[in-house]
């Protein structure tokens, strides 16, 4: 018997909304807190994702496969890391935008190491976060954290590349 994932997902969503609804009706504090947190998260996603997907769509159309292969591909050398860090620092929306953009990079010819470097750096090197961190924890700490992160990100990305290449893994194409 094959399980239809879509039906299971709908069922889980309806169970969740039912739980939250009953929690509000019965003043069950943990359920109400879950519902409020879900609402805040859903509202944030509704504000972030549409413009992000428009930008990713424009990226798909405006940036050619050849340019991605040249900048992020196997023959791009060490520059792929610099490009990945530069792109990551300018990515707005955190990992919600980084993952779809990383998928686009991969399917346009970027190597695993460039994609993993980009995704990791997008989580660690956001300019607004680094400015706030420097103002709270000090510039010295921020420079130290960023400086130590760079080699660790590159080494980690290459280890993941070796691991996936040994297994001949390819990301699935989502249509």
Domain boundaries, the chain: 1-48, 63-175
**pLDDT grade for 174, boundaries at 50, 70 and 90:** low
What is the predicted pLDDT for the residue at 130?
87
Mean pLDDT of 112-123: 94
Residue with tokens 């490009």: 83
**pLDDT grade for 175, boundaries at 50, 70 and 90:** low
Residue with tokens 């190597």: 111
- Measure the CA–CA gap between 109 and 66, rounded to whole angstroms: 8
The two three-digit tokens of residue 174, written as one number: 């989502």
- Measure the CA–CA gap between 20 and 33, rounded to whole angstroms: 9
Window from 62-71, 91-100, 128-137 with minimum mean pLDDT: 91-100
**Is there a contact between 114 and 84 (Cβ–Cβ < 8 Å)?**
yes
**Is there a contact between 171 and 103 (Cβ–Cβ < 8 Å)?**
yes
pLDDT greater than 90 at residue 3: no
DSSP 3: -
pLDDT greater than 80 at residue 94: no
pLDDT digits (tens, 9 = 90+) for 149-167: 999 999 999 999 999 999 9
Residue with tokens 């050398």: 77
Strands (E), the chain: none
- Measure the CA–CA gap between 41 and 47, rounded to whole angstroms: 10
What is the predicted pLDDT for the residue at 106?
92
pLDDT greater than 90 at residue 19: yes
- Measure the CA–CA gap between 106 and 146, rounded to whole angstroms: 25
pLDDT digits (tens, 9 = 90+) for 23-74: 999 999 999 999 999 999 999 888 888 888 888 889 889 999 999 999 999 8
Q: Which long-range contacts (CB under 8 A, 24 or more apart) does 76-80 make?
A: 76/111, 76/114, 80/110, 80/111, 80/113, 80/114, 80/117
Mean pLDDT of 61-90: 91
What is the predicted pLDDT for the residue at 144?
96
The two three-digit tokens of residue 137, written as one number: 């924890």
Q: pLDDT: is 33 or 169 the higher one?
A: 33
Q: What is the mean pLDDT of the chain?
A: 90
Q: Which of 89, 140, 142 is nearest to 117 (CA)?
A: 89
């Amino acid at each position: 018997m094959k399980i239809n994932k879509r039906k299971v997902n709908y069922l889980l969503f309806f169970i969740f909304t039912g739980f939250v609804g009953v929690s509000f009706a019965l003043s069950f504090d943990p359920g109400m807190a879950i519902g409020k947190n879900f609402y805040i998260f859903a509202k944030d996603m509704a504000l972030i994702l549409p413009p992000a997907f428009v930008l990713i769509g424009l990226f798909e159309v405006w940036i050619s496969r050849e340019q991605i292969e040249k900048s992020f591909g196997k023959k791009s050398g060490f520059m792929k890391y610099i490009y990945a860090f530069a792109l990551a620092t300018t990515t707005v929306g955190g990992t919600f935008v980084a993952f779809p953009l990383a998928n686009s990079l991969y399917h346009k010819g970027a190597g695993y190491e460039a994609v993993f470097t980009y995704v990791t750096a997008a989580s660690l090197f956001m300019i607004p976060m680094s400015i706030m961190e420097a103002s709270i924890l000090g510039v010295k700490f921020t420079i130290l954290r960023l400086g130590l992160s760079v080699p660790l990100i590159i080494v980690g990305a290459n280890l993941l590349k070796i691991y996936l290449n040994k297994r001949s893994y390819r990301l699935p194409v989502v249509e």
